[in-house]
């Protein structure tokens, strides 16, 4: 990156702009964190930070981490996310390999359809899928969410992974063939290890998608047996039917969001590399 | 045994393009054969067909007497070294070399033994546990060869293995390849576009052009007795000089004078449907400074005058470049191919320049009108239409009668 010489005035200008943008992003997050540490009575008081810090929203009789109404959805999120990610990455890598290496009739059609699925508005699929899942008995089950997540995660995976596979020289597979490998052995022993960064990136992005997904989670589940965490938030009940459970909701939001933030901060380079890998050659 | 026989092998692509046209070549067991030719002549395609990486459209490929057209590469028991080496980046040198044996489920101790033996031959022992990315070009090339050696195959196939190395390293590695082949005694089929590499390394060369085999023979055969214009101009550096000539009154009129024609050659010229215009070929070493030619030898050639355009001294020889009258310069599609390959078609007036290699004792100067002598004994005469070497047929005819 070329260093742009900035004068003092420009530095002040950029500094102000950066501060505003960061503030806009951070303030809502900090607010939720602060709400999660407030007692129910103090929720609507005008102070940004709690006067009285309390862990009652997290632990104890009103705490979310001590009741199954949140723990179970959290486990559902993790389980569904991991399974959907795993299957999506495996299928996407095989499809991406075919797309990157082979020329078969209907290839462009296939790529076009994959892109179409990714761009399709999810809301229009909710009603028909609801009926289908009920008919198939998938309603309110883990597979009922895993299958749509795989379907929506595949186009992303295929796109990223085919860019990675294209970077791997054709001659490596020829060399493996000469060494006596079957195509499957060439794929698993030579190509897949080299595409591992791409697979990790795809896994991260698909997992994030599954974790944050809300629409299907509330539409295709009815009890906490398979409801995921973001959806469960929507069904929290307060201490009485007249109070909004802001405290527990904030605490739940923190529990859902913070790990993801740490995750993304840790892997941010990879994620950016994965998304831009196909853009510039070499 | 491991002789490889190509019997009218043809490769035609689905869109109709003919990459290799009925090539027939017998490669004896333990022989070092080189496929050489300009880019696009089909030599790499032929090699890939022998390897099994490309399908054979027509014809038969026999390895060790067995027809292997439909066998997978691993069943043909041949190893290949690629131009870009194709080393597995995520494996160490040891793992790269042992990969084929591991796939064949060879016991680990046997693998270790073979890998270490090959590493010793190639001087790679201290690099065995490093990854390819940390090696130099020459070391990577040796690992690629090691990967092939470890398999102890019936034949080695090499696709321009030295072209990614710098010039000095290329020369060193060339001799090590030669020594290796002699030491192992395995059949080797080598592809290159560099005729110097071909001449120095091969037991036999096969020159290809546009998918057709032009001539196969020892380097000396191809140099002294090329069967056509293309082989004559491709083999030998600096290349053979070609001059247009017309047959008049029993002698060939060229830009350097009237060249007497021997009786057998005159018969061949008159018998064939060649017409008046032919192409005369003389190698740079067939020329000499007339002042340095002894009286005994003068009779074997002709003397002529020419203005020396450029004079290059390399210490052991002096190269003199002079132009010939462009009306009579040689034209032929084989020559056009050669010019395209050497880049001469992009250089101004390269067609009309004649290169002469003179003894270093010459006192000629640039720009001087010099008297030069051309030895006519090794002169070649070609038919511009077909490119055939008519002088060869004359000597064959004279020898027969």
Domain residue ranges of chain A, discontinuous segments joined by + = 1-66, 68-281
Smallest Cβ–Cβ distance between A171 and the set B72, B78, B86 belongs to B86
* Rounded Cα–Cα distance for residues A233 and A222 (Å): 13
A68-281 CATH: 1.10.3720.10
Q: How far is CA B294 from CA B284, B300, B302, B365, B379, in A?
A: 19, 11, 13, 21, 20
Q: How far is B86 from chain A (nearest CA, A)?
A: 5
Number of Cβ atoms within 10 Å of the Cβ of B339? 17
Smallest Cβ–Cβ distance between A180 and the set B53, B74, B87 belongs to B74
Read off the pLDDT of residues A9-65 as tens digits, 9 standing for 90 and up: 888 999 999 999 999 988 988 888 888 888 877 777 777 888 788 887 788 777 777
Residues B279 and B244: beta-carbon distance below 8 Å: yes
Which of B99, B105, B133, B153 is the best residue to mutate to test the A interface, defined by the most A CB atoms within 10 Å of its own CB? B99
pLDDT of res. B377: 86
Composition of chain A by helix, strand, coil, percent to 5 = 70, 0, 30
**Residue B51 contacts A where some CB pair is shorter than 8 Å:** yes
Residues B117 and B151: beta-carbon distance below 8 Å: no
Peptide bond into B238 cis (omega under 30): yes
Q: How far is A171 from chain B (nearest CA, A)?
A: 6
Which of B142, B158, B83, B152 has the alpha carbon at shortest distance from B111?
B152
Q: How far is CA B251 from CA A32, B137, B225, in A?
A: 105, 55, 22
* Rounded Cα–Cα distance for residues A203 and A187 (Å): 19
Which residues in chain B are contacts of A190 at CB distance < 8 A?
88
Which of B202, B213, B208, B210 has the alpha carbon at shortest distance from B234?
B208
- Would the CB atoms of B88 and A190 count as touching at under 8 Å? yes
Q: Where are the alpha helices (DSSP H) in B58-193?
A: 93-103, 108-121, 137-150, 167-184
- Give me the helix-helix angle, A246-276 and A196-212, nearest 10°: 150
Residues A144 and A226: beta-carbon distance below 8 Å: yes
- Would the CB atoms of B74 and A190 count as touching at under 8 Å? no
User: Which of 172-201 (A) contact B at CB < 8 A?
Assistant: 172, 174-181, 185, 189-190, 193-194
Higher pLDDT, A208 or A1: A208
By C-alpha distance, the chain A residue nearest B50 is A178
* Rounded Cα–Cα distance for residues B310 and B160 (Å): 34
pLDDT of res. A241: 62
B356 pairs with which residues across the strands?
B320
pLDDT of res. B253: 82
pLDDT-derived band at A282 (thresholds 50, 70, 90) equals very low
* Complex prediction ipTM: 0.75
User: In which residue ranges of chain B is pLDDT below 70?
Assistant: 1, 273-275, 325-329, 343-351, 397-401
By C-alpha distance, the chain B residue nearest A171 is B86
pLDDT of res. B110: 92
Paired tokens of A205: 């992005």
Q: Which residue has the tokens 């070009």?
A: B137
pLDDT of res. A281: 40
**Residue A123 contacts B where some CB pair is shorter than 8 Å:** no
- Would the CB atoms of A174 and B86 count as touching at under 8 Å? yes
Which of B51, B53, B68, B74 is the best residue to mutate to test the A interface, defined by the most A CB atoms within 10 Å of its own CB? B74
By C-alpha distance, the chain B residue nearest A191 is B88
Long-range contacts for A261-270 (Cβ within 8 Å, ≥24 apart)?
A263/A204, A263/A208, A264/A208, A267/A204, A270/A197, A270/A200, A270/A201, A270/A204
Q: Which residue has the tokens 């047996």?
A: A225
Q: How far is A202 from chain B (nearest CA, A)?
A: 20
Which of A42, A89, A22, A40 has the alpha carbon at shortest distance from A274?
A89
Residues A216 and A152: beta-carbon distance below 8 Å: no
- Would the CB atoms of A176 and B89 count as touching at under 8 Å? no
Number of Cβ atoms within 10 Å of the Cβ of A143? 16
Paired tokens of B359: 């003894």
CA dihedral B179, B183, B185, B191 (to 10 degrees): -20
The model's pTM: 0.77
pLDDT of res. A280: 45
Number of Cβ atoms within 10 Å of the Cβ of A60? 12
């Amino acid at each position: 990156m070329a260093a742009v010489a900035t004068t003092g005035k420009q530095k002040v200008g950029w500094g102000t702009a950066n501060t505003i943008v960061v503030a806009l992003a951070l303030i809502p997050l900090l607010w939720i964190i602060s709400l999660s540490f407030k007692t129910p009575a103090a929720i609507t008081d005008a102070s940004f930070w709690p006067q009285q810090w309390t862990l009652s929203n997290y632990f104890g009789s009103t705490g979310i981490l001590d009741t199954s109404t949140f723990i179970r959805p959290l486990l559902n999120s993790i389980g569904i996310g991991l399974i959907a990610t795993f299957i999506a990455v495996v299928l996407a890598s095989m499809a991406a390999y075919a797309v990157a290496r082979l020329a078969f009739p209907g290839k462009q059609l296939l790529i076009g359809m994959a892109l179409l699925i990714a761009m399709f508005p999810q809301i229009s699929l909710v009603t028909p899928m609801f009926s289908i899942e009920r008919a198939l008995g998938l309603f309110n089950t883990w597979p009922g969410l895993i299958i749509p997540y795989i379907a929506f995660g595949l186009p992303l995976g295929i796109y990223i992974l085919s860019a990675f596979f294209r970077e791997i020289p054709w001659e490596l597979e020829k060399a493996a063939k000469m060494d006596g490998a079957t195509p499957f052995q060439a794929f698993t022993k030579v190509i897949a290890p080299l595409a591992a960064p791409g697979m990790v990136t795809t896994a991260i992005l698909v997992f994030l998608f599954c974790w944050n997904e809300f629409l299907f989670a509330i539409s295709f589940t009815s009890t906490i047996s398979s409801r995921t965490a973001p959806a469960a938030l929507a069904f929290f009940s307060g201490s009485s039917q007249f109070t909004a459970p802001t405290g527990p909701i904030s605490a739940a939001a923190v529990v859902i969001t913070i790990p993801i933030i740490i995750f993304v901060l840790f892997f941010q380079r990879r994620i950016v590399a994965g998304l831009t890998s196909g853009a510039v050659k070499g | 045994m491991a002789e490889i026989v190509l019997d009218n092998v043809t490769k035609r692509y689905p869109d109709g393009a003919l990459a290799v046209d009925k090539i027939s070549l017998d490669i004896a067991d333990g022989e070092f054969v080189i496929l050489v030719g300009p880019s696009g002549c089909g030599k790499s395609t032929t090699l890939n067909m022998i390897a099994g990486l490309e399908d054979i459209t027509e014809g038969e490929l026999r390895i060790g007497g067995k027809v292997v057209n439909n066998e997978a590469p691993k069943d043909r028991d041949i190893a290949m070294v690629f131009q870009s080496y194709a080393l597995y980046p995520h494996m160490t040198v040891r793992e790269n070399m042992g990969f084929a044996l591991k796939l064949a489920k060879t016991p680990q101790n046997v693998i270790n033994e073979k890998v270490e033996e090959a590493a010793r031959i190639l001087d790679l022992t201290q690099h065995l546990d490093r990854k390819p990315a940390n090696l130099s070009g020459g070391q990577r090339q040796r690992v690629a060869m090691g990967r092939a050696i470890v398999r102890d195959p019936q034949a080695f196939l090499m696709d321009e293995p030295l072209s990614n190395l710098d010039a000095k390293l290329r020369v060193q590695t060339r001799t090590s390849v030669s020594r290796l082949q002699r030491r192992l005694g395995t059949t080797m089929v080598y592809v290159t576009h560099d005729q110097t590499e071909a001449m120095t390394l091969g037991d036999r060369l096969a020159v290809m052009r546009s998918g057709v085999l032009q001539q196969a023979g020892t380097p000396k055969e191809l140099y002294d007795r090329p069967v056509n214009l293309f082989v004559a101009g491709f083999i030998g550096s600096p290349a053979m000089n070609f001059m247009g000539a017309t047959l008049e009154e029993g002698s060939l009129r060229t830009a350097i004078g009237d060249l007497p024609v021997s009786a057998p050659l005159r018969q061949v010229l008159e018998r064939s449907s060649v017409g008046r215009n032919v192409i005369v070929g003389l190698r740079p070493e067939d020329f000499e400074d007339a002042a340095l030619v002894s009286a005994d030898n003068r009779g074997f050639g002709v003397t002529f005058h020419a203005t020396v355009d450029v004079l290059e001294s390399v210490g052991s020889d002096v190269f003199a470049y002079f132009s010939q009258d462009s009306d009579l310069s040689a034209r032929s599609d084989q020559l056009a191919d050669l010019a395209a390959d050497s880049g001469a078609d992009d250089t101004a007036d390269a067609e009309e320049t004649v290169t002469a290699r003179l003894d270093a004792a010459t006192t000629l100067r640039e720009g001087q009108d010099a008297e030069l002598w051309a030895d006519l004994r090794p002169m070649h005469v070609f038919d511009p239409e077909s490119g055939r070497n008519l002088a060869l047929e004359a000597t064959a005819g004279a020898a027969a009668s």
